[in-house]
Structure 1
């Protein structure tokens, strides 16, 4: 109880100091925050709009590009594959992320990597939407809602279809909430089994930048839903982790690739890689 009070007190300090919408940090304890216009300039220089929020764990420091968009809730798109994987493992829909196979349904889709059989590990690497839609259908609405509530994920609203709610439906999450969820997974303190958290941390894609490792999951909404791109995860630089969330308006095709380019640039700007 004392820890909860301390965290909420930290939230109040942050809100008073910068108006950063850090209300979602119910499960971490940032004590300082900064708004850096140089991070916002990264997006304008790229010809678009977006936001970046980083939580430097060892410094108890939140660094954000703005005080508005960082608190605006959007559809999570394929970043929901992280909780979806956890729930699949917890419910037994997936027993082994390397051995359980989801057979390709034979429907040829524009992304070639989706047109084959997948395990959970290969599906998250390819961000194979059809596989995760099948996983969600097997989980079912009742169990999905139970676990989304348990994980305190976003607005917890799975309306709009069991295989669509994170793509076109009613689920919403803001960058600060993304960081809160990712940091709990990183620390292994989510209210699910240690095994499920260990396995999901292991299957999340990584990329090495110098002496740092970035653990990440991307997301992308279609044009009808705003062409919003996400990149969420954490960067390990020695013993100093930084949890991050970025979203960007993908106004041009090049902006899809810029999700990672800008993530690395922002992480570098704040000394996280």
Structure 2
């Protein structure tokens, strides 16, 4: 089954499509005399682009300037399961003291039935539409096979002249058929033009010339490829009436643009004759609209085209330049806002990281089959080293690594102070002896005591926590999972690269916190010293339904005149925990001679 996230993006995109369609229709009307027919048609390509955005990763587009329009609908985990703390805790304790780690198990809530039903209906509709398009393409192939090469030498010579007049260098075959009533251009990779046999005897050479020019213009502007893209979009958005309406208008604008291109090659006294030729085909509607482009159309379309021909004036150079400037402005606005709808952006799942000073590493052997990433940043030399850049920019739950920032917020807002950080244990029995007594900031950070940091967050309050995370740009800054839960495989997400960038600012004292706040938290995450180097860090483990699926180790090494900031994240179905992430990190740091753990 397609993930529900795609259905959510499609629903969100449907809202945006409505707004964009209204904007395009308004632009066509407001700038009717400033946009050329070809540019008015090109406006619909923006609509096509937005249709594709939900399936395109944000990393392949430039960063958008829009604010997220919709947050993730509904929690991913059951609050009831996380509420019974004593029964839910599972340990992932390290055998190495400095990397001891504790995690809390959460349970995934069963997905609601309605999204699954809607997804099934959507996929069934796509199957039907795909079948219809395959049938249409098959009919075109049969038509091409049954068509005969044009035998009339005069018309063949006329076609060659029209092709040269249109500026087309590629050979395009022309056929005749008794099975169509309106000329069409067909074929995606090898386009051809098929004309009805009766046309050769019923029309004059002048009228045949108009028809051939029209179909050649379709080939020149790749309208057959656009037809296929439109067909694909209608397969996906078969349920959306505005998409059907938009494509009808797009086809109409395409024919008007094609007419204008033909008129630009004709003498003014031929405009009337060209319009008369269109009228001859007003009743002859092609059945192959998905796979072919044709000169005919409905009476309503023909009427619009006749009015365009009657009002046509040759385009001046300034008119064309002005039209392109307007189109560019509209395009920039649309492209700047659409990444909010991309495959990553609606949940903020991919961080857009642009830096030239990056060295790609191959550390596959260290990860022992785990999926994950390692990010290292040398503070003074401003140099990144990254293993698996895609995973390094993917946002996942921070789990216990978030406690660094929980402590910063609590100290900054007075929930605790460096001198008075003691919180009393309420007597609840936990499976870890180290949790079953009063805690200070140092002991709570050392033993990763969840109840201590939940108490800090409750005292600090969600509004101030949100303000704090916003001020430092912490991941997606989504606290909708609720106090004590949002950082445990829930709504809050952050990427390894962002972890490193935040810790780099932490080391440089560039975060918006007082120096004594930074100093207190730094002391609480101190792990060990070796050969003149000091190691600071915090592990984190995400445990879902009793399985460790998300492991973190983040921190920094101060050695001599350099500070090395690092973040390791691993993903797996089991045993992907902070302890394993820590061991992987320590091996990498040791082999790179950054930090060597004493035996």
Report TM bin, short chain.
0.7 to 0.9
Task: Tell me the residue number matched to 2:382.
Answer: 60
* Match 2:360 to one of 35, 40, 49: 35
8 Å Cα contact 1:188-1:198 kept in structure 2: no
* Match 1:191 to one of 503, 512, 515: 512
Q: Confirm whether residue 146 of structure 1 aligns to residue 467 of structure 2.
A: yes
RMSD: 2.2
Between the aligned partners of 1:101 and 1:91, the Cα distance in structure 2 is 16
Task: Tell me the residue number matched to 1:127.
Answer: 448
Secondary structure of 2:389's partner? coil
TM-score, normalized by length of structure 1?
Answer: 0.83
Q: Structure 1 residues 88, 158: CA separation in 2 closer, same or farther (over 3 Å shift)?
A: same
Q: Structure 1 residues 270, 64: CA separation in 2 closer, same or farther (over 3 Å shift)?
A: farther
Q: CA deviation at 1:250?
A: 5.7
* Match 2:417 to one of 67, 75, 95: 95
TM-score, normalized by length of structure 2?
Answer: 0.39
8 Å Cα contact 2:555-2:566 kept in structure 1: yes
Structure 1 unaligned segments of length 5 or more: list them.
1-11, 13-20
8 Å Cα contact 2:549-2:577 kept in structure 1: no
Task: Tell me the residue number matched to 1:71.
Answer: 393
Between the aligned partners of 2:399 and 2:479, the Cα distance in structure 1 is 13
Task: Tell me the residue number matched to 1:234.
Answer: 556
8 Å Cα contact 1:56-1:242 kept in structure 2: yes
Q: CA deviation at 1:64?
A: 0.9
Between the aligned partners of 1:226 and 1:157, the Cα distance in structure 2 is 23
Task: Tell me the residue number matched to 1:5.
Answer: none
Between the aligned partners of 2:589 and 2:352, the Cα distance in structure 1 is 22
Between the aligned partners of 2:351 and 2:469, the Cα distance in structure 1 is 20
Between the aligned partners of 1:205 and 1:134, the Cα distance in structure 2 is 22
Between the aligned partners of 1:72 and 1:196, the Cα distance in structure 2 is 29
Q: Structure 1 residues 100, 66: CA separation in 2 closer, same or farther (over 3 Å shift)?
A: closer
8 Å Cα contact 2:466-2:477 kept in structure 1: yes
Between the aligned partners of 1:41 and 1:117, the Cα distance in structure 2 is 42
Between the aligned partners of 2:511 and 2:568, the Cα distance in structure 1 is 22
Q: Structure 1 residues 256, 219: CA separation in 2 closer, same or farther (over 3 Å shift)?
A: closer
Secondary structure of 2:380's partner? helix
Task: Tell me the residue number matched to 2:80.
Answer: none
Q: Structure 1 residues 146, 255: CA separation in 2 closer, same or farther (over 3 Å shift)?
A: closer
Task: Tell me the residue number matched to 1:15.
Answer: none
* Bigger radius of gyration: 2
Q: Structure 1 residues 155, 161: CA separation in 2 closer, same or farther (over 3 Å shift)?
A: same
8 Å Cα contact 1:212-1:237 kept in structure 2: yes
Between the aligned partners of 1:22 and 1:252, the Cα distance in structure 2 is 26
Between the aligned partners of 1:211 and 1:195, the Cα distance in structure 2 is 24
Q: CA deviation at 1:258?
A: 2.3
Task: Tell me the residue number matched to 1:179.
Answer: 500
Higher mean C-alpha deviation, range 208-217 or range 235-244: 208-217
Structure 2 unaligned segments of length 5 or more: list them.
1-62, 64-349
Q: Confirm whether residue 221 of structure 1 aligns to residue 545 of structure 2.
A: no
Between the aligned partners of 1:256 and 1:140, the Cα distance in structure 2 is 28
Q: CA deviation at 1:222?
A: 1.0
Higher mean C-alpha deviation, range 262-271 or range 211-220: 262-271
Between the aligned partners of 1:62 and 1:50, the Cα distance in structure 2 is 17
Higher mean C-alpha deviation, range 130-139 or range 252-261: 252-261
Q: Deviations over 1:200-255 (max 9, x none)?
A: 11211322244322110111111248621100010112111110000113655485
Task: Tell me the residue number matched to 2:568.
Answer: 246
